[in-house]
Every structure is written in structure tokens, then in C-alpha cells.
Amino acid sequence: MNLAEAIILKNTEKHPLKSAIGFKKKDAGWKELSWKRFGEIVFKTANALKDAGIRENDTVAIYADNSSEWMIFDLAAMALGAVTVPIYATNNAEQAEYIINDSEAKIILVGDQAQYDAALQILQKENSLETIIISKKPSGSRKNSAAFIWKTLLPKLHLSLNTVLRKTKIPPRLFIPPEPPEARKV
């Protein structure tokens, strides 16, 4: 178990209904996520990243303003042992492309339309980038099959943490299935 998992699991157990994070949504005012819900979303996101091929020591990029999605994506990557590469939200497309190429990021979380447009241009070039996750629905009509909107991604993921625990009685840390051991060559 790594530090990201340990912090989330400890607080989920100790303070399930207490607020883990608070954030302001543009049209809905202030919102809070309890530790229980926050943990569920982080682990669902980790499973989505794992299903997308992210493994320990892989890199994922975040090209967005500070947001709840930024924090969740970062912790989900850490729970898998992946490395998060932050890109300043104010960086232009050329700077973002340099960082993505240098880090060999496979997935990128973008925040607004300009960041989505830049990531889409980068995705269409030959590099390591395979997937774009959009934290806010883009206003433009261009969409790529390798781009997913955050709100539509999470409901399609694995069962919730509570359902898994009720059905299987396995500890929460196993919600992210461990990698199978490597076969030893003799």
C-alpha cells in the first residue's frame, strides 16, 4: 500500500462522513465530498487509469486549473504508483507538447476548451499521448474518439467501493487489483 492509498483509507475509515475536500462549482456554489465518497471516486479513477493501461512508473499529465478533478486524478495516479506531470494551465500548446513528449505521458487531464484544443493537436501527432480526459465539457464541436468527458467516464467504471466490499468482503485496498506476479524465466 502506498501513501496515497493509506491516507485515503485511514480517513475513510476514521471519518467517513466528514468533508475531505470542498470546492466551488461555477453554477452550483460550494460543494463538499465526504471522505467515503472522495475515496470511492479516487479508486474508481485509479481503476479507469489502470484499465487504460497505466502502470507503476508510467506518466500521466494534468493540464488544468486547480480543481477537485485535478486532485482526484493526481491521487488516483499515485495510488497506482504512476507519476503525475503537472503542466501550468497558462502554458501554451507548444510548451505543453514539450512537457508531454519529454515525460512520455500516456494520458492527459485537461480543464478548459483551450487546453483541450492544445491536447487534441498534440494527440494527433506521433508521440506517447493516447487519451484525453476532459474535466469540463468542451464548448467546441470537435471531439476525438480518444477523448472522454470526466462526468461520463466515472459512471461507466467498476462497482462502487461499498458494493465490492459487501459482495466480496475484501479489504478496500484491494479495490485496485494487484498486478499479477511476473513469470520468472529459468
Model pLDDT for residues 124-166, shown as the tens digit of each residue: 888 899 888 888 665 654 555 555 555 555 544 433 333 333 3
Do the bridges between strand 107-110 and strand 131-134 make them parallel or antiparallel, or are there none, so unpaired? parallel
8 Å CB contact between 135 and 150: yes
The full set of domain ranges for the chain reads 3-175
CATH code for the domain defined by 3-175:
3.40.50.980
CA–CA dist 153, 172 (Å, integer): 21
Q: Collect the ranges in the chain with pLDDT lower than 50.
A: 141, 155-186
Tell me whether strands 29-34 and 19-25 are parallel, antiparallel or unpaired: antiparallel
